[in-house]
Every structure is written in structure tokens, then in C-alpha cells.
């Protein structure tokens, strides 16, 4: 049986992308020419550029009856083949309020009762008092 001696190979180094390679005879690679935009015909649709908006996370207190309306609206949207989330419903409501006239906006605000700010206090029931005493 013949055995061959193998020479150790050089360690592989992270390969450099080909667009960063520099020719041996030149000091700097030539920059790529800018891409020119194609003219858009009047009858073709223009692509909408999506803008990333900064998001804000917030929390609030809402009565159970109004929270139930949110659930009904979610189910209604699903029946209309447009499943949605609570946040989307709230944002749609904000858009609708923003589009109202001043009189309509004030009328909508007058239908909503004012609530105390902050988290609701936990009401202790006799069962929860007994559990707290055992702990």
C-alpha cells in the first residue's frame, strides 16, 4: 500500500468580496457608475416607497365595555376578509378622528366618559385575602 505525504495547506482566511478587490497594477479600483433611473411611463404604476416610522409603546386604561367593542370590531373585520389587530383598529380610529370636522370631533369626545389616570387598584376579595394570609 502506497502512502502519500500531504503538505499542510494554508489556513483559509475570510474571503474578500470581489467588488473590493484591487487590481495589482492600480492603486484604487474604479468606482461604479451611478445607476440612472428609468423614465416612468404615464400609465404605469409608481412604486410606493415605505417609510420606517419610529414606534412608540404606550399603555392605557379602558373600560371593559369599550374593550368588548374592540373585540367585536376585530371579528367584524375578519368576516369582511380583513383580519386585523387591536393596534390597527385603534390607529384606524385615530385616522377617522383626525378626518372629522371640529363639531364631529367634539361630539365624539362628549360620548366618551373621562377616566382616572393610572392603573386600576386591585380589589381584594375574601378568597385573595385568605391566600395572602397563608403566604
pLDDT of residue 48: 74
**Per-residue pLDDT tens for 76-135?**
999 999 999 999 999 999 999 999 999 999 999 999 988 887 776 777 776 666 666 665
What pTM was computed for the model?
A: 0.50
Please check whether residue 75 lies inside any domain of the structure.
yes
Going 91 to 98 to 57 to 121, the CA torsion angle's sign is negative
Domain count, the chain: 1
* pLDDT reported for residue 3: 64
**Residue 69: inside a domain:** yes
- Candidates 116, 96, 115; CA nearest to 104 is 96
What would the 3-class secondary structure string for 36-93 be?
Answer: CCCCCCCCCCCCCCCCCCCCCCCCCCCCHHHHHHHHHHHHHHHHCCCCCCHHHHHHHH
Residue 99: give the domain boundaries: 64-110
When pLDDT is cut at 50, 70 and 90, the band that residue 30 belongs to is low
pLDDT of residue 96: 95
Take residue 59 and report the three cell numbers written for it.
399603555
Position 14 in a domain: no
The torsion of the CA quartet 75, 96, 65, 60, rounded to 10 degrees, works out to: 110
Average pLDDT, the chain: 77
The answer, yes or no, to whether residue 73 has pLDDT greater than 90, is: yes
Instruction: Provide the pLDDT for residue 41.
Output: 58
In a domain, 34, yes or no: no
Greater pLDDT, 128 or 56: 56
Domain assignment present for 11: no
Amino acid at each position: 500500500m502506497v502512502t502519500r505525504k500531504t503538505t499542510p495547506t494554508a489556513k483559509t482566511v475570510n474571503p474578500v468580496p470581489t467588488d473590493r478587490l484591487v487590481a495589482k497594477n492600480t492603486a484604487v479600483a474604479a468606482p461604479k457608475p451611478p445607476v440612472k433611473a428609468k423614465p416612468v411611463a404615464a400609465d404605469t404604476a409608481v412604486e410606493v416607497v415605505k417609510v420606517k416610522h419610529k414606534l412608540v409603546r404606550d399603555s392605557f386604561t379602558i373600560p371593559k365595555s369599550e374593550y368588548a367593542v374592540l373585540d367585536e370590531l376585530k371579528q367584524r373585520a375578519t368576516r369582511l376578509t380583513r383580519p386585523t389587530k387591536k393596534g390597527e383598529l385603534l390607529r384606524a380610529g385615530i385616522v377617522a378622528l383626525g378626518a372629522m370636522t371640529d363639531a364631529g370631533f367634539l361630539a365624539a369626545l362628549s360620548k366618551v366618559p373621562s377616566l382616572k389616570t393610572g392603573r386600576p387598584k386591585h380589589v381584594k376579595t375574601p378568597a385573595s385575602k385568605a391566600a395572602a394570609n397563608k403566604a
